[in-house]
Amino acid sequence: MTVSERIEQLKSEALSAVASGASTADLEDIRVRFLGRSAELTEIKKSIGTLSPDERKEIGRSSNLASREIEAALGSRAEEVAAREQEERLQAEAADVTLPGVPFPRGHLHPSQIVIDDVIDFFVGLGYRVAEGPEVETDYYNFTALGIPPGHPARTMQDTFFVDDGLVLRTQTSPMQIRTMLAQEPPVYVVCPGRTYRRDSDPTHTPMFHQIEGLAVDRGLTLGHLKGTLGAMARHVFGEGVEIRVRPSYFQFTEPSVEMDVSCFVCGGRDPHCKVCKGAGWLEMLGAGMVDPGVLEEVGYDPEEYTGYAFGMGPDRMAMVKYGVPDLRLFFEGDLRFLRQF
Ligand code: PHE
């Protein structure tokens, strides 16, 4: 076989290899095999210098033509293959936008928080400010400033967690009354929601629970203002039909003190077998009273000029009643089967 014939043969071998090259990687192999540095065609070109002048011209021309033809075939085949590869990739990665989405679990407010928000909304609507304070409280704010000095028998009623000398986990939100009054001059209108702690655990007591404190101090406030305000709050939280009643009670920092009940919003007092009020017709709701003049003096307010009322309620208890939950401990166990019901 002459060199020219061999060139023709190499060229047609290369062209048929290119025609059946199925991928970009195949085509690259073919390029190396037929046009690479140690390809036969390249060797032929390198040897041209050793040929006679006639052959040199002939072989030079035909080998160059063969190279160019193979290059051109590779180029156009590479375009075809690349387009097909892209098409395949697009198909493989295609997303079906009509498939249903993956549902994202949606949370909601805790039942206690629903009541807290509801109560706060009501008071904010009346112009009250929201104030929050520390859960680790000094003995002074939690007890002494509220008329419960060291050694006072009322201290034993509060099942206190003592943290350190002079520090307690607050047993009530009432210390916020003192903090608020020390920080500003009257008039005062605040509500103070927050966590409180007592060493207590049974179906209606948990060591951590919530309270919402309310305090109003202004000129001329009376028990009538207190009753009117709390009645409106009860209707806001439990429904238009509910009534309230106040009973005499005793707290060290209010005088007179009252406890407030709401009429059973389930049976309205008409069902002796009612599960919510147990036939009593009334539900205990909160403690309240007129701020004791001694407390006003303690914070430097003049009790001859100002009077005030205060109240403290348990939103967890209110939520138990509102949603008919028999055991308060369920609220804080974090069991989703329970919490999803609200
Ligand atoms: N802090 C009292 C308690 O926990 C409730 C209360 C608050 C009573 C404000 C009167 C005024 O029992």
Strands 244-251 and 188-197 turn out to be unpaired
Ligand 1 centroid to Cα of residue 89, in Å, is 70
Cα(219) to centroid(ligand 1), Å: 22
CA 115, CA 95: separation in Å to the nearest integer?
45
Cβ 194 vs Cβ 173: under 8 Å = yes
CA distances from 108 to 117, 118, 325, 336 (A): 13, 15, 18, 11
Pocket (CB within 6 angstroms of ligand 1): 172, 174, 213, 251, 254, 287-289, 310-312
Predicted confidence (pLDDT) per residue in 133-152, tens digit: 999 999 999 999 999 999 99
Tokens of 112: 């206690």
Mean pLDDT computed over every residue of the chain: 93
* Separation of CA 276 and ligand 1 centre (Å): 23
Locate the domains of the chain by residue range: 3-92, 111-339
> How far is Cα of residue 19 from the mean position of the Cα atoms in its chain?
61
- Per CATH, the number for 111-339 is 3.30.930.10
Cα–Cα distance measured from residue 175 to residue 46, given in angstroms and rounded to the nearest whole number: 100
Ligand 1: residue of 146, 174, 233 to mutate (most ligand atoms within 8 A of CB) is 174
pTM: 0.71
Taking the centre of ligand 1 as the mean of its atom positions, its distance from the CA of residue 114, in whole angstroms, is: 21
Atom 7 of ligand 1, nearest CA residue: 312
- For ligand 1, the distance from its centroid to the CA atom of residue 212, given in whole angstroms, is 9
266 pLDDT higher than 90: no
pLDDT of residue 55: 86
Q: What is residue 106's predicted lDDT score, i.e. its pLDDT? A: 85
